[in-house]
Amino acid sequence: MFATLSDRLADTFKNLRGKGRLSEADIDATAREIRIALLEADVALPVVKEFVAAVKDRARGEEVSGALNPAQQVVKIVNEELVGILGGETRRLRYAKSGPTVIMLAGLQGAGKTTLAAKLALWLKDQGKSPMLVAADLQRPNAVNQLQVNGERVGVPVFAPQPGNGVGDPVGVARESIEEAKRKLYDVVIVDTAGRLGVDAELMKQASDIRDAVQPDEVLFVVDAMIGQDAVSTAQAFLDGVGYDGVVLTKLDGDARGGAALSIASLTGRPVMFASNGEKMTDFDLFHPDRMASRILDMGDMLSLIEQAEKAFDQEEALKAAQKLSGQGGEFTLDDFLQQMQQIRKLGSMKKVMGMLPGMGQFREQLDQFDEREIDRIEAIIRSMTPAERDNPKLIDGSRRARIARGSGRQVSDVNQLVDRFFEARKMMMQMARGGGMPGMPGMPGMPGLGGGPGKKGKAKQQAKKGKKRVSGNPAKAAQAKSAQAGSKAEPANPFATPGADLDYEQAAAALNLPKDFSKFLK
């Protein structure tokens, strides 16, 4: 959603790099670019003026003039000001001290309240609560039925005594739901009300009547993040007509410019509490202003990524994979690789996952072109292999690759590419798991496996690879080693060892120098 704003801000900060000191002209030019970027993102004009003024005042102060890197200090200021207009701190739900906690949803028609009610119920369920949904939207056709279907999807009961479709008393339904929750020991009640227009006095009155009837602990205003600056006037109309404690943004995964998210909290004084960013019921979470600001500035959102990974990943399977990569639990196979791919898939769209990594804004075009079905194709290729081939991909010769390609409906080149990439990835991951750092990169001095000199053992290994041996400083030992080396040259070793000794079959087979395709007969 914030792609346009993020790109404009990135270009603005790029012009500041390399400057040891910022002049007044530099600050004015930066402020002008930030103002244009915010206006293009549909941020409300009063918010833009306040934001730019705060950035200019701080940029002229000592915190920038005395900084070693003024450009980074300006980015830090913009980040802090963004966090401020987004609400400052993360606002969490207030729960009732006794009886069920009542949460009332209000908002415009088409904002996505009914779907969001089910998402919120699932989120509360994951928090250990026992929620109940209330179908108090009796105006919109099939609204009651939609809530019942969504409730069934997330495994949450729905209180729907009235059929809806323009028939029934929504205030009475809301009032009865509290008694129902007390009787069946539900600790959270989520009341889904009818969508209305900001100018519809009758429906606004109905919403305020429901509020008075159930005395909610939290009233959440649900707003479509794609409606731009109009969201601010709508939010103000609901604040005056009904009143609310927090805002929930829906459709954050859309391609709109996102001005609503940057305007509502600042102008209404009500924090954004939750955000919905997808069609799945799990695409819903708390709104963190600091994390959203980091995403806008292309700093990534590693905390959210880690939280999602903790929920999605099987710790036991991850531990097994880590042990295999470190060489302690057998060899990392294509089956393990497939399991890791499936766990990553649980995080959701790969575009979203990659978008949470710092600096991925510069690869936005590649991310947009990424085909989510590529994981399905990889899975099809691996599933077309035999168990032996998955355990030991070195077995996969030309004829096997052709068979796998036919079985998976792919080209032989796709199979070749997958196998080659698997070996490269396994080599890199094993090196990292053993503390070797990234292949081909200089290491840290004094750290084993990370550069800084190979050490005595490392030098000995290097010399052995080059065919050289260390010569002892003791003359007697040096002469003994020299004669042993001459003897070894004179008498080549018998690959089949001496009679009665343990036979190393692999070494013997290697010494025989058999044809390449003959190896399968040794299995």
Sign of CA dihedral 403, 409, 415, 418: negative
pLDDT band at 120 (very low <50, low <70, confident <90, very high): very high
Give Cα separations from 395 to 388, 389, 400, 406, 419 (angstroms): 8, 6, 8, 17, 11
Q: To which residue do tokens 């998402």 refer?
A: 119
| Residue in 250, 186, 214, 258 with CA at minimum distance from that of residue 38 | 258
Average per-residue pLDDT in the chain?
A: 75
Pick the most confident of 8-12, 93-97, 317-321.
93-97
Q: 263, 51 in Cβ contact below 8 A?
A: no
Q: Looking at domain 306-433, does it have CATH number 1.10.10.10?
A: no
pLDDT digits (tens, 9 = 90+) for 472-512: 555 555 555 665 555 444 444 444 444 444 445 455 455 54
**Superfamily of domain 101-299 in the CATH hierarchy:** P-loop containing nucleotide triphosphate hydrolases (3.40.50.300)
Is 401 exposed, middle or buried (CB count within 10 Å of its CB: 0-12, 13-18, 19+)?
buried
* Residue ranges in 194-333 assigned as alpha helix (H): 201-214, 230-241, 259-268, 289-296, 302-312, 315-325
Q: 12, 33 in Cβ contact below 8 A?
A: yes
Angstrom distance (rounded) from CA 439 to CA 168: 69
Angstrom distance (rounded) from CA 15 to CA 112: 41
pLDDT digits (tens, 9 = 90+) for 41-98: 778 888 888 888 888 888 887 666 665 577 778 888 888 888 888 888 888 888 988 8
Strands 158-159 and 188-193: unpaired
Angstrom distance (rounded) from CA 43 to CA 37: 9
Angstrom distance (rounded) from CA 246 to CA 450: 50
User: Which backbone phi and psi does 136 adopt, to 5 degrees?
Assistant: -105, 10
Q: Does the pLDDT value for residue 149 go beyond 90?
A: yes
Q: Which two structure tokens, joined as six digits, stand for 359?
A: 């600096």
What angle do helix axes 334-345 and 315-325 make, rounded to 10 degrees?
140
Q: Which two structure tokens, joined as six digits, stand for 156?
A: 């949450």
Q: 223, 234 in Cβ contact below 8 A?
A: yes
| Residue in 304, 308, 250 with CA at minimum distance from that of residue 277 | 250
How confident is the model at residue 503, as a pLDDT? 47
Residue by residue, DSSP assigns 461-488 as: HHHHHTT--PPPSSHHHHHHHHHHHHHH
Grouping H, G, I as helix, E, B as strand and the rest as coil, residue 274 is strand
Angstrom distance (rounded) from CA 294 to CA 309: 19
Q: Does the pLDDT value for residue 158 go beyond 90?
A: yes
- The domain locations on the chain are 3-85, 101-299, 306-433
| Residue in 70, 142, 92, 84 with CA at minimum distance from that of residue 245 | 92
How confident is the model at residue 189, as a pLDDT? 93
In this structure, the dihedral spanned by the alpha carbons of residues 110, 113, 119 and 121, taken in order and rounded to 10 degrees, is -160
Angstrom distance (rounded) from CA 59 to CA 515: 72
Q: Look at 238-252, 428-442, 443-457 and tell me which has the smallest mean pLDDT.
A: 443-457
Grouping H, G, I as helix, E, B as strand and the rest as coil, residue 153 is helix
Grouping H, G, I as helix, E, B as strand and the rest as coil, residue 106 is strand
Q: Looking at domain 3-85, does it have CATH number 1.20.120.140?
A: yes
How confident is the model at residue 459, as a pLDDT? 44
Give Cα separations from 31 to 299, 335, 362 (angstroms): 20, 53, 22
pLDDT digits (tens, 9 = 90+) for 438-478: 443 333 333 333 334 444 444 444 444 444 455 555 555 55
pLDDT digits (tens, 9 = 90+) for 227-238: 766 777 778 888
Q: Which two structure tokens, joined as six digits, stand for 340?
A: 């890791």
Q: 60, 27 in Cβ contact below 8 A?
A: yes
The residues, ordered by sequence, that sit 6+ positions from 22 with a Cβ below 8 Å of its Cβ are: 16, 30, 59, 64, 65, 70, 71, 74
Angstrom distance (rounded) from CA 132 to CA 60: 53
CB neighbourhood size of 50 (10 A): 16
